Amino acid sequence: MANSPQSKKRARQADRREAVNKTRRSRIRTFLRKVEEAIASGDKTAAQTALRNAQPELMRGVTKGVFHKNTAARKMSRLSSRVKAIA
């Protein structure tokens, strides 16, 4: 447990950042799930729309430090290739 005033403050700040990052990560996962559902349904236009909506959210997660840049790029690449593959 934190003892000094500074370590207590850092613990409080860490809790606040954890909550913010958790909601941000959850929001991004929701956007990605919508893309997955559109791909599974086979609706190409819905999948493309969902992908366009998910891309800025994912990149925002990168700038906020929730995801690594390469992780976001990999997710976008794999999703876009799957959307393209829909007949």
Band (pLDDT 50/70/90 cuts) for residue 87 is confident
% the chain with pLDDT above 70: 100
CATH of 5-84, one of 1.10.274.30, 1.10.8.420, 3.40.605.10, 1.20.58.110: 1.20.58.110
- The pTM for the full model equals 0.86
The rounded distance, in Å, linking the Cα atoms of 52 and 36 is 13
The separation between CA 14 and the C-alpha centre of its own chain, rounded to angstroms, equals 20
Mean pLDDT of all residues belonging to the chain? 95
Query: What is the rounded distance in angstroms from the CA atom of residue 13 to the CA atom of residue 55?
Result: 29
Q: In a 10 Å sphere around its CB, with 0-12 CB exposed, 13-18 middle and 19+ buried, how is residue 62 labelled?
A: middle
Mean pLDDT calculated for residue range 60-74:
96
Average pLDDT over every residue of 56-73 = 96
